[in-house]
Amino acid sequence: MSNFTPTSGDSIDQERSHAFDGITEYDNNLPRWWLWMLYISVAVAIWYVFHFHFWTGVLSKADVDDWLIAKAKEVVVAPVLSEDDLRKLSNDPTRIAAGQALIPSKMCMTCHGPTLTGLIGPNLTDKYSIYGNSMTEIVKSLTEGRMNNVMPGQAIHKMTSDEIISVACYVANLSRAGEKPGMRPQAAKEKEDPIKY
């Protein structure tokens, strides 16, 4: 150990008077650059909150709701195809394959399960339905969502009209192919309405 004796120009590290678990701290000032970064961050945070939540920004709840609605309308427009046109498309193998490919990326499996036989959402392969098994109702359910957004409208997840139709074709094809074991129908909500087309 060296016998260093500070001169009058040297600074001496001063230890704080308290210790915890045998550990003591030096009572040194924080670096100036660190303090300035802290002051600037606090100032920006205060400005951000007041600007975007109280003054001219767009982050008030009403503005966010309006923005989400505008975005949803921009992303997807409900298809204007008749029931007959949708039924014809539901037998197109290309459409069915496209719909099947979209299922994993569009959150359907979260509620309906990997094979769409139901988890917390109903079994989509059986002959029971809450809103009816017409193609227009399937497309409407996908586009707008159901049960006060418990099933979110796929407009929010940026599905195009074409993608919504493809997923509807895949769901119709699953139901036509025959019931698979899964979630049992909810008698209070679901009515028997098999897909026959």
pLDDT tens-digit readout, 142-188: 888 877 767 777 766 677 888 888 888 888 888 887 777 777 777 66
Please give the mean pLDDT across all residues of the chain.
77
- Looking at per-residue confidence, does 162 or 194 come out higher? 162
Average of pLDDT values for 98-118?
79
Q: Looking at residues 91-109, what average pLDDT do you find? A: 83
For the chain, domain boundaries: 15-53, 81-192
| Residue 62 pLDDT level (bands cut at 50, 70, 90) | low
Name the 3-class secondary structure at 172: helix
What was the pLDDT predicted at 164?
Answer: 86
Rounded Cα distance, 76 and 85, in Å: 19
Nearest to 95 by CA among 167, 177, 197: 167
pLDDT band at 32 (very low <50, low <70, confident <90, very high): very high
Distance CA 118, CA 182 (A): 6
How confident is the model at residue 42, as a pLDDT? 97
Specify the fold of 81-192: Cytochrome Bc1 Complex; Chain D, domain 2 (1.10.760)
Mean pLDDT, residues 12-17 taken together: 76
Res 121: pLDDT: 78
Cα distances from 122 to residues 104, 129, 134, 192, in angstroms, run 17, 8, 16, 13
